[in-house]
Amino acid sequence: KAGVTQTPRYLIKTRGQQVTLSCSPISGHRSVSWYQQTPGQGLQFLFEYFSETQRNKGNFPGRFSGRQFSNSRSEMNVSTLELGDSALYLCASSSGDRGSPLHFGNGTRLTVT
Amino acid sequence: AQKVTQAQTEISVVEKEDVTLDCVYETRDTTYYLFWYKQPPSGELVFLIRRNSFDEQNEISGRYSWNFQKSTSSFNFTITASQVVDSAVYFCALSEAFNSGNEKLTFGTGTRLTIIP
CB B117 within 8 A of CB B15: yes
Mean pLDDT of chain A: 94
Which range among A42-56, A79-93, B46-60 shows the weakest confidence by mean pLDDT?
Answer: B46-60
- How many other CB atoms sit within 10 Å of the CB of residue B41? 7
| Cα–Cα distance measured from residue B28 to residue A2, given in angstroms and rounded to the nearest whole number | 37
In whole angstroms, how far apart are CA A67 and each of B5, B19, B57? Answer: 32, 41, 39
Query: What values do phi and psi take at A97, rounded to 5?
Result: -80, 155
- How many other CB atoms sit within 10 Å of the CB of residue A15? 11
pLDDT, position A90: 96
| Cα–Cα distance measured from residue A94 to residue A85, given in angstroms and rounded to the nearest whole number | 25
Q: CB-based contacts of A42: which residues, under 8 Å, 6+ apart?
A: B107, B108, B109, B110
| Cα–Cα distance measured from residue A85 to residue A34, given in angstroms and rounded to the nearest whole number | 14
- For residue range B6-20, list pLDDT tens digits in order: 999 999 999 999 999
pLDDT, position B58: 82
Residues of chain B with C-beta less than 8 angstroms from the C-beta of A8: none
Has residue A104 got a pLDDT over 90?
A: yes
Q: How confident is the model at residue A1 (pLDDT cuts 50, 70, 90)?
A: low
On the CB side of B24, CA atoms within 13 Å amount to 6
- For residue range A50-102, list pLDDT tens digits in order: 999 998 889 999 999 999 999 999 999 999 999 999 999 999 999 888 788 99
| Cα–Cα distance measured from residue B57 to residue B62, given in angstroms and rounded to the nearest whole number | 16
pLDDT, position B43: 87
CB A105 within 8 A of CB A5: yes
Residues of chain A with C-beta less than 8 angstroms from the C-beta of B46: 104
Largest CA distance in chain B: 48
Residues of chain B with C-beta less than 8 angstroms from the C-beta of A55: 98, 100-102
- How many other CB atoms sit within 10 Å of the CB of residue B31? 12
Distance of CA A3 to the CA centre of its chain: 15
Distance from CA of A12 to the nearest CA of B (A): 18
